[in-house]
Structure 1
Amino acid sequence: MNNLDEVSSRMLQEVCDNIKTAIEQGRTDIIKSVLEACEVDDIDSSLRKENVLNNPLLEDGTFLYMATKMNQGDVVRMLLSCGADPGVQNARGLNAIDVATSEQMRLIYVEELLRATANSEVGRVCQLIAAGISINSWDSEDSRNTPLHWAACYGNKDIVTCLIDRGADVNAMNSCGATALHDAVLRGDRDIVEELMQSGANPLIQSLKGKFGGKTPLDLAAQKPELLVLVRTFTSFSPSVNGHQDIGVSSHQLQHGITVTTGGGSGGGGRVRSVSVESFSNGVRGDMLNHRDGSTVSVHGHGFQSERKPSTRSLNTILFSSQASSLDLSPRIDQAIENLVRTHISTPVRPLVINNSLHLLWPQPQRMVELEGPPFVPQKELRISIIQSPVLIHRILDVWDICQPALLTLGFDVKIGDIQPSCGKWTESQVECIVSEDLFPSKDSYQIHINSTRVRIAAGSLPSLHYSLCTFIQLLRLSGGEPGSSVLVPVLIQDHPTIRHRAVLLDISPRGRVPSPDFLFQMVSLWSSLKVSHLHLYTQLLPSSEWQLPFTRSEMVTIDRYCQDRFIDLVPVLDVESHVSYEDLTDMWPTFQEILASFPNLRYVHIGPKLCSLLVRPEEGDEGDGVSSDGSGQCVGLQELWHHLALPPDITVMLCGNGIQQHGTLALPSNILLVQYGFQADYDFLEWTRDFHQQGAMTCLCPGTASWNSLAGCPEASICNIYRAVQAVGELESLGVIVAHWSGSYHLTPHPFGWPGFVVGSGLSWNPDTHWDYLHNSLSDLLNSHIFLDSENVVGRVIIELGYAETYALRSCRGQDQGDLSDLPAQDGSTLYKLLTDPDNVNLENLSLDIFGRVTKHIKRCQNNLFRAKLRCLFGEMVIQELQLAADLMLTACRIGRTLIGVGTNPNSNMGLAVINLGVCNLPPTFRTDIANKLLAHIEQYKGTWLQRHLPAGLQSSLLVLTSALHRFVPDEPQVT
Structure 2
Amino acid sequence: MLLEICDNIKTAVEHGRTDIIKSLLEACDDDPDENVTKDRILNQPLLEEGTFLCLATKLHRGDVVRTLLSCGADPGVQNSQGMNAVDAAVGSPTMRHIYVEELLRATANSEVGRVCQLVAAGIDVNARDSEGSGNVPLHWAACYGDRDVVACLLDRGADVNAMNSFGATPLHDAMFRGDEDIVEMLLQAGANPLIQAIKGKFAGKTALDMASQKRVLKELVDRYIPLSSSPVESPLPASAGVNGFSQPAESETEADSSGQERSKSADSSGSGGGATVGTSNMEPARVPAPTKVAAVHRRGSRPPRPARQSHDYFPPHPLPLPHPHPSLSSAASTLSLDLDPHIDQQAIESLLRTHVGTVPIRPLVTHPALHLLWPQPASTLELDGPPFVPSKDLGISVIQGPVSVHRILDVWEVSRPCFLAMGYDARIGDVQPSCGSWTGHRVECLVNPELFSSADSYQIHVSSEKVQVWAGGLAGLHYALGTFVQLLRLAGPEGQLPPVLVRDRPAVAHRGVLLDVSPQGRVPALNSLFLMVNLWSSMKVNYLHLYTRLVPSSEWQLCYSRSNMVSLDRYCQDRFITVVPVLDVDNSAVYDDLADMWPSFQEILASFPNLRYVHVGPKLCSLLLPPANEGACGGGREGAARQLWHLLSLPPSVTLMLCANSLQPAAPALPSNVVLVQYGFQADYNFVDAAQDYYARGVTMCLCPGTASWNSLAGCPEAAVCNTYRAARAAVSTGSLGVVVAHWSGSHHLTPHTFGWPGFLAGCGLAWNPDTHWDYLHNSLPDLLDAHVFLDSAGVMGAAVVGLGRAETYVTYAGRELGGGAELADLPPQGGSTLYRLLTDPDNVALDCLSVDLFARVTKYVKKCQNMFFRAKLECECAEVILREVQLSADLLLTACRIGRTLVTVGMNPNSNMGLAVINLGICNLPPTFRTDIANKLLAHIEQYKGTWLQNHLPAGLQGSLLVLTSALHRFVPDETQSS
CA 1:712–1:956 in 2, change beyond 3 Å: closer, same or farther? same
Superposition map of 1:287-306 within 5 A = 293=244
Gaps of 5+ in 1: 1-222, 227-246, 259-265, 275-289, 298-303
- Mark the structure with the bigger radius of gyration: 1
Q: Which residue of 2 aligns with 1:909?
A: 912
Measured in 1, the distance between the counterparts of 2:615 and 2:457 equals 28
Measured in 2, the distance between the counterparts of 1:294 and 1:486 equals 38
Q: Which residue of 2 aligns with 1:253?
A: 178
Match of 1:586 among 583, 586, 595: 595
The secondary structure found in structure 2 opposite 1:354 is coil
Q: Is the 8 A contact 2:553 2:597 kept in 1?
A: yes
CA 1:509–1:367 in 2, change beyond 3 Å: closer, same or farther? same
TM-score (norm 1): 0.68
The secondary structure found in structure 1 opposite 2:824 is coil
Q: Is the 8 A contact 2:638 2:671 kept in 1?
A: no
Q: Which residue of 1 aligns with 2:463?
A: 451
Q: Offset at 1:417? A: 1.4
Measured in 1, the distance between the counterparts of 2:377 and 2:355 equals 26
Q: Offset at 1:696? A: 2.2
CA 1:532–1:853 in 2, change beyond 3 Å: closer, same or farther? same
1:412 aligns to 2:415 (yes or no): no
Q: Which residue of 1 aligns with 2:444?
A: 432
Post-superposition Cα deviations, 1:677-713, rounded to whole Å, max 9, x if no partner, equal 0000000011111111222211000000000000010
CA 1:636–1:386 in 2, change beyond 3 Å: closer, same or farther? same
Q: Offset at 1:440? A: 1.1
The secondary structure found in structure 1 opposite 2:877 is coil
Superposition map of 1:470-549 within 5 A = 470-481=482-493, 485-549=494-558
Q: Which residue of 2 aligns with 1:773?
A: 775
Superposition map of 1:509-908 within 5 A = 509-617=518-626, 623-624=629-630, 635-662=638-665, 664-817=666-819, 820-908=823-911
Q: Is the 8 A contact 2:460 2:501 kept in 1?
A: yes
Measured in 1, the distance between the counterparts of 2:656 and 2:778 equals 35
Q: Offset at 1:785? A: 0.5
CA 1:656–1:273 in 2, change beyond 3 Å: closer, same or farther? farther
Measured in 2, the distance between the counterparts of 1:309 and 1:493 equals 17
Match of 2:336 among 311, 318, 325: 325
Measured in 2, the distance between the counterparts of 1:700 and 1:937 equals 44
Q: Which amino acid aligns with 1:420?
A: Q
Q: Offset at 1:350? A: 2.6
The secondary structure found in structure 2 opposite 1:666 is coil
The secondary structure found in structure 1 opposite 2:871 is coil
Q: Offset at 1:816? A: 2.8
Measured in 2, the distance between the counterparts of 1:776 and 1:514 equals 29
The secondary structure found in structure 1 opposite 2:748 is helix
Measured in 1, the distance between the counterparts of 2:147 and 2:450 equals 67
Q: Which amino acid aligns with 2:472?
A: G
The secondary structure found in structure 2 opposite 1:494 is strand
Q: Offset at 1:342? A: 4.6
Post-superposition Cα deviations, 1:712-740, rounded to whole Å, max 9, x if no partner, equal 10000011100110111101110000000
CA 1:747–1:252 in 2, change beyond 3 Å: closer, same or farther? closer
Q: Is the 8 A contact 2:695 2:735 kept in 1?
A: no
Measured in 2, the distance between the counterparts of 1:307 and 1:865 equals 26
The secondary structure found in structure 2 opposite 1:871 is coil
Superposition map of 1:139-150 within 5 A = none
The secondary structure found in structure 1 opposite 2:431 is strand
1:936 aligns to 2:949 (yes or no): no
The secondary structure found in structure 1 opposite 2:596 is helix
Q: Is the 8 A contact 2:356 2:773 kept in 1?
A: no
Post-superposition Cα deviations, 1:450-494, rounded to whole Å, max 9, x if no partner, equal 11111111111000000000000000000025xxx2101111111
Q: Which amino acid aligns with 2:786?
A: N
Calculate percent identity across the aligned residue pairs.
60
The secondary structure found in structure 2 opposite 1:539 is strand
Measured in 1, the distance between the counterparts of 2:534 and 2:719 equals 26
The secondary structure found in structure 1 opposite 2:663 is helix
CA 1:857–1:255 in 2, change beyond 3 Å: closer, same or farther? farther
Q: Offset at 1:624? A: 4.2
Post-superposition Cα deviations, 1:738-764, rounded to whole Å, max 9, x if no partner, equal 000000011000011000111111111
Q: Offset at 1:249? A: 6.0
Q: Offset at 1:575? A: 0.3
Q: Offset at 1:877? A: 1.0
Measured in 2, the distance between the counterparts of 1:587 and 1:493 equals 54
Measured in 2, the distance between the counterparts of 1:309 and 1:404 equals 33
Q: Which amino acid aligns with 1:360?
A: L
Q: Which residue of 2 aligns with 1:949?
A: 952
Measured in 1, the distance between the counterparts of 2:492 and 2:915 equals 62
CA 1:248–1:837 in 2, change beyond 3 Å: closer, same or farther? farther
Superposition map of 1:453-472 within 5 A = 453-472=465-484
Q: Which moved more, 1:689-698 or 1:805-814?
A: 689-698
Q: Offset at 1:974? A: 11
Q: Offset at 1:443? A: 2.0
Q: Offset at 1:616? A: 0.3
Measured in 2, the distance between the counterparts of 1:744 and 1:476 equals 38
Q: Is the 8 A contact 1:332 1:818 kept in 2?
A: no
Measured in 1, the distance between the counterparts of 2:344 and 2:538 equals 31
The secondary structure found in structure 2 opposite 1:844 is coil
The secondary structure found in structure 1 opposite 2:520 is coil
Tell me how large the CA RMSD over aligned residues is: 3.4
CA 1:319–1:410 in 2, change beyond 3 Å: closer, same or farther? closer
Q: Offset at 1:334? A: 4.2
Measured in 2, the distance between the counterparts of 1:414 and 1:552 equals 35
Q: Which amino acid aligns with 1:735?
A: L
The secondary structure found in structure 2 opposite 1:867 is helix
Q: Is the 8 A contact 1:627 1:635 kept in 2?
A: no
Q: Which residue of 1 aligns with 2:971?
A: 968
Measured in 2, the distance between the counterparts of 1:975 and 1:434 equals 73
1:336 aligns to 2:339 (yes or no): no
Measured in 2, the distance between the counterparts of 1:715 and 1:766 equals 20
Q: Which amino acid aligns with 1:688?
A: A
Q: Offset at 1:623? A: 4.9
CA 1:976–1:872 in 2, change beyond 3 Å: closer, same or farther? closer
Q: Which residue of 2 aligns with 1:13?
A: none
Q: Which moved more, 1:323-332 or 1:920-929?
A: 323-332
Q: Is the 8 A contact 2:314 2:364 kept in 1?
A: no
Measured in 2, the distance between the counterparts of 1:273 and 1:556 equals 60
Q: Is the 8 A contact 1:250 1:307 kept in 2?
A: no
